[in-house]
Amino acid sequence: MRIICVNNYDEMSEKAANILASQIILKPESVVGLATGSTPIGMYDHMVRAYESGKISFQRVTTFNLDEYFNLDKNNPQSYYFYMKKNLYDKVDIPNENINIPNGMVEDIERECIRYEKEIRNKGGIDIQVLGIGRNGHIGFNEPDIKFEALTHMVNLDEQTIRDNSRFFSSIEEVPTKAISMGIKTIMRAKKIVLLASGKEKAESIYEAIYGKITPTLPASVLQLHPDVVFVLDKDAAWKLDSKELDKEYL
């Protein structure tokens, strides 16, 4: 595990975008796992700029998103499909057929989950997976007490996640209570993982993910077992960590 700690949100975003851009430059047909939420927005912005300046192309890249709300139409501005179009897909040259996001509107959810896993496998697996982290330590929508052996599946959202995500909806009642999410096993199969966190409200879950016991109670703690994971943190998210272990760029 490597921990990169930078000054602020923008530096975190730029660093993460550089990691993804390097991956795409080294392997133009990369399979990239992507995340939503407020944390990666700046990273997407930097990636769009890298595309516009001709540094990277998404022509041969395939993407798989971590999760999608259950029963929320993809044209709903709160859907993750909508988020991805707005923040990345509509601004770069990725072919539509290379974009994969779980479909939360299908009748047979179990079948959709199996289809999603098969698609990932057919593309040769995920080369690099981007993650955020919830205040409760979730990754994707793998909420506390998830089973580590889970593949893509339907999840019930934790009360804290519903409260946290209500800021994007006009009322808490509108927040879906279920979602389809890659499971911990799907995430752990990615060849590389990049986890981003910014802000003091993530400091506790970051500390537990890195130093805590490996336990389903704190899903991100499983990343301690991954052979190639990098945490890109701003100094607020990193403040509880032992400074000796950090690659610090703000000192």
Residues marked as catalytic:
67, 136, 138, 143
Using CB under 6 A, pick the residue from 102, 134, 137, 183 that binds ligand PGA.
134
Binding mask of the shown chain, residues 11 to 40, with x at each position contacting ligand PGA by CB under 6 A: --------------------------xxx-
Whole-angstrom distance, CA of residue 168 vs CA of residue 17 = 24
Binding mask 137-176 for ligand PGA (x = CB under 6 A): ----------------------------------------
Angle between the 41-52 and 80-87 helix axes, to the nearest 10 degrees? 40
Between CA 250 and CA 234 the distance in angstroms is 9
Structure tokens at 200: 């003091």
**Minimum separation from the CB atom of position 201 to ligand PGA (A):** 8
Place of tokens 């330590």: 137
Where do we find the tokens 């701003």? Answer: 234
- Integer Rg of the chain from CA: 17
133 touching ligand PGA, by CB under 6 A: yes
* Rounded least distance, CB 39 to ligand PGA, Å: 3
SS3 62: strand
> Two tokens at 94?
């990725």
Give the one residue of 132, 137, 176, 183 binding ligand PGA; rule: CB under 6 A.
132
**Is residue 117 classed as helix, strand or coil in its secondary structure?**
helix
Nearer to ligand PGA, 33 or 132 (CB): 132
List contacts with ligand PGA (CB under 6 A).
37-39, 132-134
